[in-house]
Amino acid sequence: MPGGYIEQVEINWLPAWHGTDIPEHSFLMEWAQKYLQGMDGFHRSARVDTSNVKAMMEAAGYVNFEERLIRCYVNPWSRNAEERRVAQWFNLCLIDGVQAMSLAPMIENLGMTIEQINELQDAVKSECCKLRYHAFCTM
């Protein structure tokens, strides 16, 4: 009997920026590109491809799709209280999760060392805590 719904959430790790103040060299972008490349090496893409996901869901019998995009800012720069709240949580999860997400893909598939990953993590954390940069990932 048809009915109900399914909710799928994916994060596009490639950051974008609100406004024009963008770091000349973004460590967040560097991390995202390396993370995605490392995951590709496992044949487990972490790249968001909504048209492919929709096609797979349709092939499984799902219909009536609604796509909502939410900007997850990496720091709480916004004047909007809800955006600030989401940004605080996203910042915490991102900063605390970068190393865990990076270890296997970057060591096994990119040949990086733990020290290199930790340096990149520190640079990402520093960049993400600068309120002048309005970077976000899309969920």
Which of 88, 84, 79, 77 shows the shortest CA–CA distance to 131? 77
54 contacts: CB under 8 Å, gap ≥ 6:
65
pLDDT of 36 higher than 80: yes
Instruction: Tell me, yes or no, whether 33 lies in a domain.
Output: yes
Instruction: Tell me, yes or no, whether 118 lies in a domain.
Output: yes
Instruction: Tell me, yes or no, whether 75 lies in a domain.
Output: yes
How many domains, in total, are found in the chain? 1
Per the confidence metrics, is the pTM higher than 0.75?
yes
Give me the mean pLDDT over the 35-52 stretch. Answer: 95
Instruction: Tell me, yes or no, whether 59 lies in a domain.
Output: yes
d(CA 133, CA 21) in angstroms, rounded, equals 6
Range of the domain at 101: 12-138
pLDDT of 1 higher than 60: no
DSSP 119: H
The model's pLDDT over 8-26, given as tens digits with 9 standing for 90+, comes to 899 999 999 999 999 999 9
d(CA 39, CA 90) in angstroms, rounded, equals 21
Instruction: Tell me, yes or no, whether 124 lies in a domain.
Output: yes
